[in-house]
Amino acid sequence: GVDLDKAMADVRDAVDLAKPKLPADSDEPTVNEVTFASEEPVLTVVLYGTVPERTIVQIARTLRDRLESFRQILEVDIAGDREDIVEIVVDPLLMESYGLDQADIYNLIALNNRVVAAGFVDTGYGRFSVKVPSVFDSLKDVLELPIKVNGKEVITFGDVATVRRAFRDPESFARLDGEPAIVLDVKKRAGENIIETVAVV
């Protein structure tokens, strides 16, 4: 363990030695012991740049996973991150030409018990939440999902809609110099040294 009294004395001695180097009009330096609760971040990292939002988000998630692998770090919270979703934008005219309606699309999804990833269907008249099967590896798989079968003709999502990756509407915003940013709040594990925790970051 750490001898806190000795640590405080060492810091005070170091501050006293540094006093002559401080400007004459500076305030008297003080040394105080501060205890951080484990839920309080000890370091904040901000990521931003002239790259697509998805790129910054992916970098932030990768960095979070790497930092959380260190024993000193309890967890890393990401502010400005948004959940990935799949948006399905349905063309109402195409839907009508195939004799389909919103219920056909909604019922197909509702009856599929493998659904996990949230998204939305936008029909032009309104938007409702949907989910897509977890077995999908790509947007192409979603487009090939059959909606209706007329004899030998199979109508898929790709026939009546466009599908794209997107983000859920943000619950919080992070900006740096007016530019969109991602903020990582690093929290140390109880009993770990703050300086050592910051050093591994």
Range 84-167 has CATH code 3.30.2090.10: yes
Query: In the block, which residue shows the tokens 């990521």?
Result: 47
What span, in angstroms and rounded, lies between the C-alpha atoms of 72 and 63?
A: 15
Q: How many CB atoms lie within 10 A of CB 73?
A: 21
CATH topology assigned to domain 34-82+171-200: Alpha-Beta Plaits (3.30.70)
**What pLDDT is attached to residue 133?**
46
**What pLDDT is attached to residue 63?**
92
**What pLDDT is attached to residue 113?**
36
Give 129-178 pLDDT, tens digit per residue: 455 444 456 677 777 778 777 778 888 878 888 777 777 766 666 777 77
Structural domain boundaries in the chain: 1-33, 34-82+171-200, 84-167
Q: Is the pLDDT of residue 16 over 60?
A: yes
Rg of the chain taking only CA atoms, in angstroms: 27
Q: For the whole model, what pTM was predicted?
A: 0.50
Mean pLDDT of the chain: 76
Q: Which residues contact 166 (CB under 8 A, 6 or more apart)?
A: 84, 85, 86, 87, 119
**What pLDDT is attached to residue 115?**
44
Q: In a 10 Å sphere around its CB, with 0-12 CB exposed, 13-18 middle and 19+ buried, how is residue 192 labelled? A: middle
